[in-house]
């Protein structure tokens, strides 16, 4: 038996999909024209699948900050945070995030993925329980698996199912951590956070909210869903990433629990991973400053999101449950998704195509993500490209 024989079914499936839609597996962004436009296959396209919610990657302030850090501190730290990889800029950014979120402690990680991996593989263990929303991100599942914690999934946004599981665990001599996301990355819907926070308090559990897609997007000042829902005091741990609204690479966890600091000395993904590059840290710091000073970015983002969501829904597309910068269009068959994705690309619009098993309900999705940097004309063009593929009555 060969080492790779176990992948043959997946390889055969990939070959079949490639025969139907070869472009999907060979998307290369050849040139960046702007925050919302690029060259793909020699064609100028509108980017509508990038998670670039606030247009930060090409902001002059972010680029200048990254260049300055690059020139003064070099291309990388060549060490983990526990070794030589903690620079003054890492500590400064941790202070900025704590101040922004109103938390007393923050740890910056190399990626958002490693933030979840570090926290969930270390903070909970085999004697604890994690109750996680079934639609949570892969990094959350992987962190739990690495830590060997006992995991129980509750149905997506189902408070009754969550309470049922909390009741079953209430007589156990163990700690319970509830894990949810602010905005879910596939369907673009919010966690039912007010009800989840109430259950957390009632049953004496802990609560971790992954605000990866909601940081900078939700809340009066952009702190995320917990701020929008008015339950920040009930959230024990806020995890986030720099790779969406902040337009960089990195991740963090913030908390009012002073014990968070012990994670620095006990988490393998933190202790044994090289720290974020100075340029990434500087870019994230600059982007966070912009978010605080320019609330109009969120307003523009939501104007774009509400417009496209309403247009697609009116056309008869099966979209997500609520308006959001993440707008999925469900397709009953994979072949339908391939055909529509190709047609959109031909019309100069790039969106994400997401196939099972990555989708929550087993259907294929065309996933749009909008940006404050999109002009109204560009959002109209995205809607028009979909309209050319609208389902028949």
Q: Give the chain's domains with CATH numbers.
A: 5-58+295-387 (3.90.1150.10), 60-293 (3.40.640.10)
pLDDT tens-place values along the chain, 393 residues long: 689 988 898 888 888 877 777 777 778 999 999 999 999 989 999 999 999 999 999 999 999 999 999 999 999 999 999 999 999 999 999 999 999 999 999 999 999 999 999 999 999 999 999 999 999 999 999 999 999 999 999 999 999 999 999 999 988 889 999 999 999 999 999 999 999 999 999 999 999 999 999 999 999 999 999 999 999 999 999 999 999 999 999 999 999 999 999 999 999 999 999 999 999 999 999 999 999 999 999 999 999 999 999 999 999 999 999 999 999 999 988 888 989 999 999 999 999 999 887 787 778 999 999 999 999 999 999 999 999 988 664
**pLDDT on residue 392:** 62
Catalytic residues: 185, 213, 244
**pLDDT on residue 1:** 67
CA distances from 250 to 208, 245, 290 (A): 18, 12, 17
Classified as helix, coil or strand, 336 is helix
Residue from 298, 268, 272, 310 nearest 142 by CA: 268
Helix crossing, 334-346 with 376-387: angle to 10°? Answer: 130
Strand ranges in 257-376 using DSSP code E only, listed in sequence order: 326-331, 349-350, 352-354, 364-369
């Amino acid at each position: 038996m060969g080492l790779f024989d176990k992948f043959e079914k997946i390889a055969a499936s990939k070959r079949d999909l490639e025969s139907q839609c070869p472009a999907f597996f060979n998307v290369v962004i050849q040139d960046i024209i702007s925050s919302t436009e690029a060259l793909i296959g020699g064609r100028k396209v509108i980017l509508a699948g990038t998670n670039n919610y606030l247009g930060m990657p090409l902001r002059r302030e972010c680029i200048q900050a990254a260049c300055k850090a690059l020139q003064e501190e070099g291309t990388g730290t060549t060490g983990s945070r526990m070794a030589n990889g903690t620079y003054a800029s890492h500590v400064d950014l941790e202070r900025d995030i704590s101040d922004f979120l109103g938390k007393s402690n923050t740890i910056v990680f190399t990626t958002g993925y490693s933030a979840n991996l570090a926290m969930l593989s270390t903070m909970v263990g085999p004697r604890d329980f994690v109750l996680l929303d079934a639609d949570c991100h892969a990094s959350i599942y992987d962190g739990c698996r690495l830590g060997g914690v006992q995991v129980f999934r509750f149905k997506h946004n189902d408070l009754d199912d969550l309470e049922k599981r909390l009741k079953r665990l209430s007589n156990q001599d163990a700690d319970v951590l509830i894990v949810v996301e602010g905005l879910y990355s596939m369907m673009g819907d919010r966690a039912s956070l007010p009800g989840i926070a109430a259950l957390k308090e009632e049953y004496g559990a802990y609560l971790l909210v992954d605000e990866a897609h909601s940081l900078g997007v939700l809340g009066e000042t952009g702190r995320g869903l917990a701020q929008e829902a008015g339950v920040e005091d009930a959230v024990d741990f806020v995890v986030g990433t720099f790779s969406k609204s902040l337009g960089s690479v990195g991740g963090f966890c913030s908390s009012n629990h002073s014990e968070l600091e012990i994670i620095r000395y006990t988490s393998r993904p933190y202790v044994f991973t090289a720290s974020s590059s100075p340029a990434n840290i500087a870019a994230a710091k600059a982007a966070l400053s912009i978010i605080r000073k320019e609330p109009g970015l969120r307003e523009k983002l939501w104007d774009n999101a509400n417009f496209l969501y309403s247009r697609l829904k009116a056309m008869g597309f099966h979209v997500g449950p609520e308006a959001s910068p993440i707008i999925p269009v469900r397709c009953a068959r994979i072949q339908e998704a391939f055909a529509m994705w190709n047609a959109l690309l031909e019309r100069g619009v790039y969106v994400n195509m997401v196939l099972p098993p990555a989708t929550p309900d087993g259907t294929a999705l065309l996933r749009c993500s909008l940006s404050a940097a999109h002009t109204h004309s560009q959002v109209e063009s995205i809607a028009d490209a979909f309209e050319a593929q609208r389902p028949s009555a």
